[in-house]
Structure 1
Amino acid sequence: MGLFFVYILKSSVCLAIFYLFYRLLLARETFHRFNRFSLLGILLLSCLLPLVEVSVKQETEVHQTMLTLEQLLMMADAVNATEAGASAETATVTWIQVALLVYLAGIVFFAFRNVCSLVRLLMLLKSGKKEDIGSYLPSRKERVTLIVHNRDIAPFSWMGYIVISRKDLEENGREILIHELAHIHNRHSWDLLVADVCIFFQWFNPASWLLKQELQNIHEFEADETVIKEGVDAKQYQLLLILKSATKLFSVLLASKRP
């Protein structure tokens, strides 16, 4: 367990540093596809770099600190529980063991949360009515399952499914469906799945949460660009986005005031 925890710590440091560079150098760029793959590349590099061993002739302070940390974590695996509390060194190991327990507790918590989210998603997919998306977008032949709900829910897509309320479908169906189809065609769900795996193991790392949020923002920009390219009036679409954002904010405020 000590080796794995060392790997996670190194990976989280790499992720934080790379994400910081991204925010400084690329975050303001409007090349959304390039930014998207840059973020995915950051995730990949942060996973691979800790596996690379670099030997140096003269150890730096950072290198010595990392070695000390690794040694302590290795001791946490090797020290017998009956020897705990005997010396200051053993006390240090005990604190590391506590940190490992907290880390494992976080993983268990997020595993439970992800399972609950998956169950809710499956219930939404099963409880809605399946309809032919071709009846709303006649010019497009899509192998996508459209799930329509009579209750008011925010539209979303996941893998090959689009979930939408009857009200949204009747009022702004074309714009919303094109938007969600863009998410599916660009395989945005896979990006979020990779980001969720990263958060699962690095739940303590703010960079992992911020990176996922950045990915979601890029996904929305890409989907919005697709809608505009499909011939939807830009001003009308902007008004729709503002209306949806205001409605969502009002719903959140209303829910927060309920006893």
Structure 2
Amino acid sequence: MHTTVNFILESGISLSLLATIYVIFLRRETFFRLNRFFLLGSLFFSVALPFLKFRIYEPQPVLLSEVTVTPYRNLLEAVTVYGQDFSVTVEQTILSTTLLIWIYLAGLLLFFAIFFYRVIRIGFVIRKNEVRKSDSFKLVFLEKECSPFSFLNYVFVSRPLQNSDGYDRMIAHEIEHIKQGHSFDVLILEVLTAFQWFNPFMWMLRRAIRENHEFLADHAVLTSGVNRGYYKKLLLNQFAGGQLVLTNNFNYSLIKNRIKMMSKIKSPKIAHVKIILGVLTAVALIIMFACEQKETVEQEQQMIDNETITIKSTLLDDGRMKIEGTFEDMEEFKKRYSDVNSFKIETDSLGNIFLVQKKEEVPKILDSEEQIFFIVEDMPEFPGGELELRKFIANNIEYPKAAQENGVQGRVYVTFVVDKNGEVANAKIARGVDPALDKEALRVVNSLPKWIPGKQRGQSVNVSYTVPINFALQ
């Protein structure tokens, strides 16, 4: 479900931005084919955007292996911690509100029902009336009075209109709709509108595409040699009634705009550069939504799939909490609390499970007279190497919720000393960002296990390090 919400949100934001660019910068330009390309490109791009995934960094920053050493300090490559991105936060908000989900689904079903009803109705009209085949289209004669309209390769025309002035121009207009495949655009629009029915920009884009279809058909008819003044008069004299919404019709509700566009001076070629705005917006959307880290997937899943479990807890005199329950609930309980920094799970010889609060370790401080080295012959080594060090930090650090909610991010520099015994000491913030981030970075560094101590001339010595921990919100 959360994938569907992500699709609706990201495609909706994309449609909104691109529709706004079209209405403000491109709608009044006379390069109709380019405008159609932009409008259809906006639709397809918006549909594809949620499925695009590019990584601009390594999947997990703990895989970075480079170590930079300077004469002044030993600087480890930054470890990056990611909080929840904007789309995840919105997804969880929507998913937590059942009423919103039901309202959206009701709208979705309603618009799909309307869409299928219109398609069936068009099929019924074709079957009920006389159809004549031509080379590239089929002519359907209707008994009621209405302006000509088209759908797929069918042109619907009122039988009483055959002898009227301008009949052939009106048919030529509808044939252009067929030649240019405008009905396929309309079908795509109807499906996408069902998914984005709540988005006012979707309706704006929908109208813009239909309007562009009329401009294209009018332009083709005028280019064939039809007198411009005569064609305008023909538009004004035709009053449509009873056309089906899915169809392209000669006299839709855009006559005023169509006449204005016919009278408009051709746009200069330099106006084509406005299309760059759409390209830049698309690039920005890709960077925003497609170039994202997925290190928070497990965290998100835990938050979303938070099923209820039933357990019995008993507080013992020694401060431990005994946990009892069914096998399935106990397994789920252990899974949930296995990665919680402030608690640990213990099991005795009888298989009983206890939840024990971890004791805060007092940071070790070296005596002020202790000598601290920055460069030594044999540098301290974390068990398993720097890769394991990065894994330890990434797996044990948590992005403070308060910082996420306030949009706080940045790089925290923590300096510490690996002493003669391989223990971490003198950990402090060299350059901080926010008290919550600083505290969390300092906590994780203080919890580092023993290192293999550094040596100078064969003797174990104290060596200083600095590790940057980068907290980043996407």
Where on the TM-score scale, by shorter chain, does this alignment land: which range?
Answer: 0.7 to 0.9
Compare 121-130 and 155-164 and name the one that shifted more: 121-130
Distance 1:58 1:16, change over 3 A: farther
Stretches of structure 1 lacking an aligned partner (at least 5 in a row): 77-92, 134-141, 249-259
In the alignment, the residues of structure 2 paired with residue 55 and residue 205 of structure 1 have an alpha-carbon distance, to the nearest angstrom, of: 31
Q: CA deviation at 1:64?
A: 4.1
In the alignment, the residues of structure 1 paired with residue 26 and residue 191 of structure 2 have an alpha-carbon distance, to the nearest angstrom, of: 24
Give the conservation status (yes or no) of the 8 Å contact 2:112–2:191.
Answer: no
Residue deviations 1:57-111 (CA, integer Å, cap 9, x gap): 6879xx74433223445xx4xxxxxxxxxxxxxxxx2xx2211111110111011
Aligned to 2:43: 43
Q: 1:183 aligns with which of 177, 180, 202?
A: 177
1:30 maps to 2:30: yes
Aligned to 2:411: none
In the alignment, the residues of structure 2 paired with residue 176 and residue 193 of structure 1 have an alpha-carbon distance, to the nearest angstrom, of: 23
Q: What is the count of residue pairs matched by the alignment?
A: 218
Aligned to 2:149: 156
Q: CA deviation at 1:236?
A: 1.4
In the alignment, the residues of structure 2 paired with residue 144 and residue 194 of structure 1 have an alpha-carbon distance, to the nearest angstrom, of: 21
Aligned to 2:190: 196
Q: CA deviation at 1:173?
A: 2.0
Q: Secondary structure at the match of 2:9?
A: helix
In the alignment, the residues of structure 1 paired with residue 184 and residue 86 of structure 2 have an alpha-carbon distance, to the nearest angstrom, of: 36
Aligned to 1:124: 125
Partner letter of residue 51 of structure 1? F
1:106 maps to 2:97: no
Residue deviations 1:122-141 (CA, integer Å, cap 9, x gap): 121112212355xxxxxxxx
Partner letter of residue 38 of structure 1? F
The structure whose residues are more often helix, as a share, is: 1
Partner letter of residue 225 of structure 1? H
Stretches of structure 2 lacking an aligned partner (at least 5 in a row): 58-79, 242-474
| Cα RMSD after superposing both structures | 2.3
TM-score (normalised: structure 2): 0.43
The structure whose residues are more often strand, as a share, is: 2
Aligned to 2:87: 66
1:11 maps to 2:5: no
Aligned to 1:85: none
In the alignment, the residues of structure 2 paired with residue 17 and residue 58 of structure 1 have an alpha-carbon distance, to the nearest angstrom, of: 30
Give the conservation status (yes or no) of the 8 Å contact 2:177–2:183.
Answer: yes
**Looking at both structures, which has the greater relative contact order when contacts are Cα pairs under 8 Å and sequence separation is at least 6?**
2
Q: CA deviation at 1:243?
A: 1.3
Q: Secondary structure at the match of 2:163?
A: helix
In the alignment, the residues of structure 2 paired with residue 159 and residue 103 of structure 1 have an alpha-carbon distance, to the nearest angstrom, of: 30
1:228 maps to 2:222: yes
Aligned to 2:21: 21
In the alignment, the residues of structure 2 paired with residue 10 and residue 131 of structure 1 have an alpha-carbon distance, to the nearest angstrom, of: 46
Residue deviations 1:195-253 (CA, integer Å, cap 9, x gap): 111101111111111111111111111111121222222211110101124x65xxxxx
Q: CA deviation at 1:4?
A: 0.5
Q: CA deviation at 1:52?
A: 2.9
Residues 216-255 of structure 1 correspond to what in structure 2 (within 5 A)? 216-245=210-239
Q: Secondary structure at the match of 1:170?
A: coil
Q: Secondary structure at the match of 1:147?
A: strand
Compare 36-45 and 224-233 and name the one that shifted more: 224-233
Q: CA deviation at 1:12?
A: 0.3
Aligned to 2:140: 147
TM-score (normalised: structure 1): 0.77
Q: 1:214 aligns with which of 189, 199, 208?
A: 208
In the alignment, the residues of structure 1 paired with residue 106 and residue 124 of structure 2 have an alpha-carbon distance, to the nearest angstrom, of: 27
Q: Secondary structure at the match of 2:238?
A: helix
In the alignment, the residues of structure 2 paired with residue 174 and residue 46 of structure 1 have an alpha-carbon distance, to the nearest angstrom, of: 39
Q: CA deviation at 1:40?
A: 0.5
